[in-house]
Amino acid sequence: MTELEQTLSSGTSNAGAYQDYAIETKSLTKAFSGREAVSDLSLRVPVGSIFGFLGPNGSGKTTTIRMMLGLVSSNKGDITILGQPVEQLNQLARVGVVVEGPGFYPYLSGFDNLQRFAEVSYPAQKRLNPETSKLRRPDILQSLERVGLVGAKDKKYRAYSLGMKQRLSIAAALMWPRDLLVLDEPTNGLDPQGIVEVRELITSLNQEGMTIFVSSHILSEVEMICSHIAIMRDGVLQFQGSVEDFKGSLSKEFSLVTSQVDLAKEILVRFEFIDLHSCKIEGNHLTAQLSSENIEEIVKTLVEQGVGIRSVGLVEPSLEDAFVALTGRSSNVS
Amino acid sequence: MFLSEIKLLLKRRRTEVLFILLLLEPWLLAFLIYQFGGGGGQGPNFLNLVTHNGIFLVLASLSSLLPLLLPLAVSLVSSDAIAGEASNGTLRYLLTAPVSRFKLLVHKMSSSLVFIFVLSVTISLSGLVAGSVFFPVGKVLLLSGQTVSFFHGVLLVLLSALLVGLSLICVVAIGIAISTFTDIPVGATLGTLGAIILSEILDNITQVRGIWPLLPTNYWMSFSDLFRSPIIFSGISKNIVNQVGWLIFAFSIALAKFRFKDITS
């Protein structure tokens, strides 16, 4: 357990104060018809972080997010959003949400859709801050401008491409001032350019002071922008903490290039230098988790057994590999 | 929020088409009566009266639309309330907007109620115009034999429009209740329409006479009692009680179901 994790799991004294965590769940559990979708989940999303919520599809991410937003009830546990229990509806007025893809009225234009949501969310904004005034046409146009949809504002939503729909949902989430943004798979359906744009948008919103909670089943999409991550598998939290701690918690990987790669593998396993399950071979390149760190001993043994070595060393594992190791699945297979 | 619901309803092409078709019905009816005459039929025979006085076209239209087409139009709207939002994927965004579930139901209910009254009144106005174009209008001969002035007649016609709107309250209430149980709007529409048709069928089976007063459609035709002098209020007031009862009953079911429902759409 890393130091941060220890402080996180033992730090109950000041936990719950909004200055620390934008989202906090305690022992959150949800079962659908007997099967647990989320088990005993205690998440802590630090204020000001970009928090990557990772896991393969079906690992309980969306159910967790739905519980955080009060859409789905929990069987057990508490959720605190921005320092208040999630049951206090007005809290959600400070949270921008994109959950499980865009949802708009197909028969309305992009502009009319935003206007509809501006109208329905106004009373809650007003309760939160009595000074708030209604969103006028220029405000809505500005939101559309931010995601590059002004040109398509009068087009019916049903004629939008998936990328445009996704952008519209981000625009809707950003219509009001927000303290927290919850984005569930926000890059689904976007082209590479769009993904880069969303990443940049997330980073710049974070720099403005917004805490961002972003889920993804594709690690590489969020790893470069996240300050913290949590990894889910089958409804169970596998890891949470800062990205540095995550990297630090990983042991280095043994890397060997040889033309006799199969022989090398057999020897390494026979002498119990490596764990068979972690061994991967690509062409004449072998990588594996080492059981012993004694690389000299390994090289000596390999040479003695007649394996020619082109190159050998210890490398930092990629986050992707660590992710696979924790979730048991490759992250970019959906 | 309430105005937003009304706008949402009116901006939908489907609602506009429904409106136009229903507003045309009196004109179609007028044309048919003009061509082929009133003929027989059962119940208070408004069709026969139309040729003498165009004002009765309104009643002929309302009573021909009430058994099926009006419930169909209203159930399309009311059953869309929650199921439609769920199937659009907008329900989760409304609830995280945030709008409380209770308020969402109330706004859906009230906008549908406005819809039925606007619908019945505009159909009546359309019928009034069509009636006066095709047929002579003038003093109104009541079903009970007395004659009243034309304006008195128009007033009675508008009152019957309101009573027809009132009769549709049960369709709104049942539609919204059913729409909290499913994410498929068509299913909710058919369920609602099915419930109304079932009620109309039971209303004709004498063996179940005992439950007639509870059926939502039982007093639907009571609006014709307005055209008697003195007006017979027993059916009309029973209809009001019945419709309000269904409203409360169905809304309670909707609220009980929706209040803690897991929104997975």
d(CA A290, CA A299): 13
A207-219 tens-digit pLDDT: 999 999 999 887 7
Task: Residue B121: name the closest of B244, B231, B19, B4 by CA.
Answer: B19
Task: Residue A209: name the closest of A173, A175, A183, A179 by CA.
Answer: A179
Same domain? For A153 and A270 the reply is no
Q: How confident is the model at residue A7 (pLDDT cuts 50, 70, 90)?
A: very low
CB B75 within 8 A of CB B193: yes
> In this predicted structure, what is the pLDDT of residue B1?
82
> In this predicted structure, what is the pLDDT of residue B71?
96
Residue matched to tokens 């609220």: B255
Task: Residue A173: name the closest of A238, A260, A87, A97 by CA.
Answer: A97
**Weakest mean pLDDT among A240-244, B48-52, B152-156, B167-171:** B48-52
Q: How confident is the model at residue B2 (pLDDT cuts 50, 70, 90)?
A: confident
> In this predicted structure, what is the pLDDT of residue A15?
38
Same domain? For A158 and A58 the reply is yes
**Weakest mean pLDDT among A192-201, A202-211, A216-225, A229-238:** A216-225
Q: Which residues contact B187 (CB under 8 A, 6 or more apart)?
A: B83
Domain of A268: which CATH number? 3.30.70
Verify whether the Cβ–Cβ distance A120 to B11 is below 8 Å. no
Residue type, A12: T
Q: The tokens of A296 are what?
A: 């000299």
Distance from CA of A90 to the nearest CA of B (A): 7
Same domain? For A35 and A171 the reply is yes
Average pLDDT of the residues of chain A: 86
Same domain? For A263 and A219 the reply is no
Q: Is residue A331 part of a domain?
A: no
Q: Does residue A122 surpass a pLDDT of 90?
A: yes
CB B130 within 8 A of CB B197: no
Domain boundary among A213, A232, A248: A248
Verify whether the Cβ–Cβ distance B88 to A106 is below 8 Å. yes
Q: Is residue A320 part of a domain?
A: no
Q: Is residue A21 part of a domain?
A: yes
Query: In chain B, which residue's Cα lies nearest the Cα of A71?
Result: B263
Q: Strands A180-184, A35-41: parallel, antiparallel or unpaired by DSSP? A: unpaired
Q: Is residue A321 part of a domain?
A: no
Same domain? For A15 and A97 the reply is yes
Which of A103, A106, A124 minimises the CB distance to B93? A103
Same domain? For A129 and A259 the reply is no
d(CA B68, CA A306): 89
List C-alpha distances in Å: B122 to A37, A40, A57, A82, B250.
52, 57, 52, 50, 27
What domain count does chain A have?
A: 2
Q: Does residue A18 surpass a pLDDT of 80?
A: no
Helix ranges restricted to H, chain B: 2-10, 13-36, 46-50, 56-65, 69-78, 80-88, 91-95, 101-134, 150-167, 169-179, 185-202, 233-259
A-chain residues near B13 (CB < 8 A): 107
- In three-state secondary structure terms, B143 is coil
> In this predicted structure, what is the pLDDT of residue B40?
56
> In this predicted structure, what is the pLDDT of residue B41?
53
Verify whether the Cβ–Cβ distance B98 to A92 is below 8 Å. yes
Q: Is residue A332 part of a domain?
A: no
> In this predicted structure, what is the pLDDT of residue A10?
39
**Weakest mean pLDDT among A2-6, A267-271, A329-333:** A2-6
A58-112 tens-digit pLDDT: 899 999 999 999 999 999 999 999 998 888 878 899 999 999 889 999 999 999 9
Verify whether the Cβ–Cβ distance A103 to B90 is below 8 Å. yes
B196-252 tens-digit pLDDT: 999 999 999 999 999 999 999 999 999 989 988 899 899 999 999 999 999 999 999
CB A197 within 8 A of CB A171: no
Same domain? For A242 and A173 the reply is yes
Same domain? For A233 and A286 the reply is no
Share of chain A above pLDDT 70, in %: 92
Domain of A28: which CATH number? 3.40.50.300
Q: What is the ipTM of this complex?
A: 0.89
Q: Is residue A279 part of a domain?
A: yes
Q: Does residue A331 surpass a pLDDT of 70?
A: no
Domain boundary among A248, A264, A280: A248
d(CA B15, CA B77): 8
Q: Does residue A334 surpass a pLDDT of 50?
A: no
Domain that holds residue A310: 253-315
Q: Is residue A199 part of a domain?
A: yes
A-chain residues near B98 (CB < 8 A): 70, 89-90, 92-93, 121, 124
Which of A73, A100, A116 minimises the CB distance to B8? A116
Q: Is residue A330 part of a domain?
A: no
Same domain? For A306 and A163 the reply is no
Q: Does residue A305 surpass a pLDDT of 60?
A: yes
Share of chain B above pLDDT 70, in %: 97
Residue type, A254: F
Chain B interface includes A178 (CB < 8 A): no
Same domain? For A72 and A112 the reply is yes
Same domain? For A192 and A51 the reply is yes
Same domain? For A172 and A271 the reply is no
